[in-house]
């Protein structure tokens, strides 16, 4: 009679229950795996055989058929090693358990029988709970992430022998996660370490407050990436729901460290400009999330954005618009969340010193425009704020005055975010940057004086309609930071400053 063991796989960041059926019949010794298993699953034959023998059990000299159901789901990865091995031991009566289907098993086996960490354990456990399975046998390395699901009883074990002993004697209590994992917040990076640069810090604060995308430009070495790295320190804390979602992404990417349970900090991802399209958006043979999903709820920072290949930058279009990415596969599509704050940095010209007082720029007007023209197009359309970062004047460097701490800036950002949450409680958006034309009309009341100024700017700088709505959105955020219900002239004037670079250089 065939034996059934519960296990699971995942697609995107969602778990899917998989039943592993094991049937042993008489015949020439063989082990076949059926049910849309890819090469990585088929390799499990060799691992399971060695693991069983090296753990002191017998491997049957019969014909073994393993069926993974549902058959229409493509299975990849090594997390079926453990359920297969347990199934074989049950079918050959080397263990005797009557409540085997109360448990869900995942784990990769080494040749010696050790349980190795697997990708996607968190979504698998969440799916198990959905399907009324409460007990999970997982590799010890995956214990912490699995324990995030409060109602799950997690039994983390080190090797096949331990799993068998546990099934025989049930002599373990479920894993309890320690308090230590709650305090993984790394507060090291702080704006207090950034001297001067007040106007850029202000621009960053506005961007963080309204969820606006941002470009910083300035000569090499002026501290652009130093400032970008600190953005997560002023963004609101992750909600529990967000934390869990980010952790799922890191779980299926295999990027949770052994000691990490949950991602409690907004991620900051800064891929190098040589990154491939697939590494940026996700996909590939193993289908894993790309940098844009690893940056979900946090910051995606592209330093020297003009060095990135144009076709790589173009794939950012969908995620920037829809806040998720859809990857097509032979059998269906996979979706990963990718809602991030997009921040990038660039030199204002090929030599880097245009507009700087430190050194004379040696580029011609033509060279400069050609250089910046790489930026044009759809990507540029999604940037609300541009800010110049300059070298510090000497008196700032020697000044002993302390810079403002991130925690103080964060407080203001969170107040502005709260105003927006209330404002959009009846809408499907959360922050000002997400407003469309209709919502701008509905929620952005501009007073008379401010509207005069806007009119003046409009004609003076020949602003495009798109630039116009961006200025209003950013003014809305500045007014929120100011605690002002109406958008006043000073808010408009500040918002226009954040477009100076782009309207003068590129339009």
* Shortest distance (Å) from residue 221 CB to Zn ion: 15
Q: Are 389 and 222 in contact (CB under 8 A)?
A: yes
Distance in angstroms (rounded) separating the CA atoms of residues 60 and 2:
15
Q: Is 217 in the site for Zn ion (CB under 5 A)?
A: no
* Shortest distance (Å) from residue 219 CB to Zn ion: 9
* Shortest distance (Å) from residue 78 CB to Zn ion: 52
Of the two residues 364 and 486, which places its CB atom closer to Zn ion in the complex? 364
Of the two residues 128 and 219, which places its CB atom closer to Zn ion in the complex? 219
Of the two residues 288 and 351, which places its CB atom closer to Zn ion in the complex? 351
Of the two residues 241 and 365, which places its CB atom closer to Zn ion in the complex? 365
Cβ count near 94 (within 10 Å): 16
Of the two residues 169 and 366, which places its CB atom closer to Zn ion in the complex? 366
* Shortest distance (Å) from residue 217 CB to Zn ion: 12
Report the first-to-last Cα separation within the chain, whole angstroms.
74
Q: Are 266 and 238 in contact (CB under 8 A)?
A: yes
* Site for Zn ion, residues 323 to 352, rule: CB under 5 A: 349, 351
* Shortest distance (Å) from residue 360 CB to Zn ion: 9
Distance in angstroms (rounded) separating the CA atoms of residues 341 and 349:
25
- Near Zn ion by CB under 5 A, which window of 108-116, 255-263, 358-366, 461-469? 358-366
Q: Which helix (H) or strand (E) holds 393?
A: none
Distance in angstroms (rounded) separating the CA atoms of residues 470 and 440:
10
| Total site size for Zn ion, rule CB under 5 A | 5
- Near Zn ion by CB under 5 A, which window of 226-234, 295-303, 359-367, 494-502? 359-367
- The sign of the dihedral angle between the CA atoms of 75, 78, 83, 86 is positive
Of the two residues 304 and 482, which places its CB atom closer to Zn ion in the complex? 304
* Shortest distance (Å) from residue 364 CB to Zn ion: 9
- At 68, list the tokens: 């993974």
Q: Is 355 in the site for Zn ion (CB under 5 A)?
A: no
Q: Are 155 and 135 in contact (CB under 8 A)?
A: yes
Interface pattern 383-402 for Zn ion (x via CB under 5 A): --------------------
Q: DSSP secondary-structure letter at 159?
A: B
Closest CA to 295 of 257, 227, 242, 216: 242
* Shortest distance (Å) from residue 324 CB to Zn ion: 38
SS3 content of the chain, % helix, strand, coil (to 5): 40, 20, 40
* Shortest distance (Å) from residue 215 CB to Zn ion: 17
Of the two residues 69 and 363, which places its CB atom closer to Zn ion in the complex? 363
> Is residue 150 packed enough to be buried (19+ CB in 10 Å), middle (13-18) or exposed (0-12)?
exposed
User: In degrees rounded to 5, what are phi and psi of residue 314?
Assistant: -65, -30
Distance in angstroms (rounded) separating the CA atoms of residues 273 and 305:
7
DSSP 464-487: -HHHHHHHHHHHHHHHHHTT-SSB
Distance in angstroms (rounded) separating the CA atoms of residues 165 and 172:
10
- Near Zn ion by CB under 5 A, which window of 47-55, 255-263, 279-287, 361-369? 361-369
Interface pattern 264-303 for Zn ion (x via CB under 5 A): ----------------------------------------
Q: Which helix (H) or strand (E) holds 52?
A: helix 44-54
* Shortest distance (Å) from residue 507 CB to Zn ion: 20
Of the two residues 359 and 411, which places its CB atom closer to Zn ion in the complex? 359
* Shortest distance (Å) from residue 182 CB to Zn ion: 49
Of the two residues 30 and 358, which places its CB atom closer to Zn ion in the complex? 358
- Near Zn ion by CB under 5 A, which window of 70-78, 121-129, 335-343, 357-365? 357-365
* Shortest distance (Å) from residue 354 CB to Zn ion: 4
Length of the chain: 507
* Shortest distance (Å) from residue 192 CB to Zn ion: 32
Of the two residues 359 and 442, which places its CB atom closer to Zn ion in the complex? 359
Q: Are 139 and 169 in contact (CB under 8 A)?
A: no
- Near Zn ion by CB under 5 A, which window of 155-163, 211-219, 272-280, 360-368? 360-368
Of the two residues 106 and 349, which places its CB atom closer to Zn ion in the complex? 349
Q: Are 286 and 118 in contact (CB under 8 A)?
A: no
Of the two residues 325 and 372, which places its CB atom closer to Zn ion in the complex? 372
- At 187, list the tokens: 């507060």
Q: Is 361 in the site for Zn ion (CB under 5 A)?
A: yes
* Shortest distance (Å) from residue 346 CB to Zn ion: 12
The phi-psi region of residue 256 (left if phi > 0; otherwise alpha if psi is between -120 and 50; otherwise beta) is beta
Of the two residues 299 and 351, which places its CB atom closer to Zn ion in the complex? 351
- By CB under 5 A, name the one of 250, 354, 391, 501 that touches Zn ion: 354
Q: Is 363 in the site for Zn ion (CB under 5 A)?
A: yes
Q: Are 484 and 491 in contact (CB under 8 A)?
A: yes
Distance in angstroms (rounded) separating the CA atoms of residues 275 and 79:
29
Torsion angle, alpha carbons of 318, 478, 303, 360, to 10 = 130
Which parts of this chain interact with Zn ion (CB under 5 A)?
Answer: 349, 351, 354, 361, 363
């Amino acid at each position: 009679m065939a034996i059934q063991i519960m296990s699971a796989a995942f697609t995107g960041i969602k778990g899917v229950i998989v039943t592993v059926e094991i049937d042993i019949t008489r015949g020439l010794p063989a082990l076949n795996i059926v049910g849309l298993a890819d090469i990585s699953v088929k390799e499990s034959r060799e691992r399971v055989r060695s693991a069983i023998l090296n753990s002191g059990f017998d491997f049957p000299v019969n014909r073994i058929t393993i069926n993974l159901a549902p058959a229409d789901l493509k299975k990849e990865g090594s997390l079926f090693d453990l359920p297969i091995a347990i199934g074989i031991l049950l079918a050959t009566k080397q263990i005797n358990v009557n409540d085997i289907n109360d448990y869900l098993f995942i784990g990769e086996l080494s040749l010696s029988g050790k349980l190795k960490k697997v990708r996607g354990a968190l979504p698998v456990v969440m799916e198990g709970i959905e399907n009324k399975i409460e007990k999970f046998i997982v590799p010890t390395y995956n214990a912490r992430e699995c324990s995030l699901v409060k109602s799950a009883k997690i039994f983390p074990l080190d090797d096949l022998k331990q799993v068998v002993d546990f099934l025989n004697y049930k002599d373990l209590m479920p894993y309890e996660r320690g308090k230590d994992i709650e305090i993984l917040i790394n507060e090291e990076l702080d704006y207090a370490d950034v001297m001067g640069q007040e106007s850029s810090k202000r621009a960053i604060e506005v961007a963080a407050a309204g969820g606006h995308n941002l470009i910083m430009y300035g000569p090499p070495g002026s501290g652009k990436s130093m400032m970008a790295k600190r953005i997560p320190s002023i963004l609101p804390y992750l909600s529990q729901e967000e934390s869990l979602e980010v952790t799922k992404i890191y779980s299926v990417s295999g990027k949770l460290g052994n000691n990490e349970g949950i991602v409690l900090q907004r991620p900051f991802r800064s891929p190098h400009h040589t990154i491939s399209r697939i590494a940026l958006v996700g996909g590939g043979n193993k289908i894993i999330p790309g940098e844009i999903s690893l940056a979900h709820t946090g910051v995606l920072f592209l330093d020297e954005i003009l060095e990135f290949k144009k076709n790589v930058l173009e794939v950012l279009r969908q995620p920037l618009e829809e806040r998720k990415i859809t990857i097509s596969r032979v059998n269906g599509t996979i979706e990963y969340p990718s809602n991030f704050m997009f921040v990038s940095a660039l030199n204002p010209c090929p030599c880097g010193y245009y507009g700087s007082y430190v050194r004379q720029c040696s580029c011609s007007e033509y060279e400069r425009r050609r250089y910046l023209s790489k930026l044009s197009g759809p990507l540029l359309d999604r940037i609300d704020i541009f800010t110049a970062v300059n070298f510090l004047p000497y008196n700032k460097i020697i000044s002993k005055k302390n810079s403002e701490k991130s925690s103080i800036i964060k407080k203001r950002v969170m107040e502005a975010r709260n105003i927006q949450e209330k404002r959009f409680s009846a809408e499907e958006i959360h922050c000002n940057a997400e407003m469309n034309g209709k919502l701008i009309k509905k929620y952005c009341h501009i007073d008379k004086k401010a509207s005069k100024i806007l009119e003046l700017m409009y004609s003076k700088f020949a602003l495009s309609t798109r630039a116009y709505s961006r200025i209003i959105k950013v003014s809305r955020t500045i007014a929120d930071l100011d605690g002002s219900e109406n958008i006043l002239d000073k808010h408009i004037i500040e918002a226009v400053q954040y477009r100076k670079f782009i309207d003068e250089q590129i339009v």
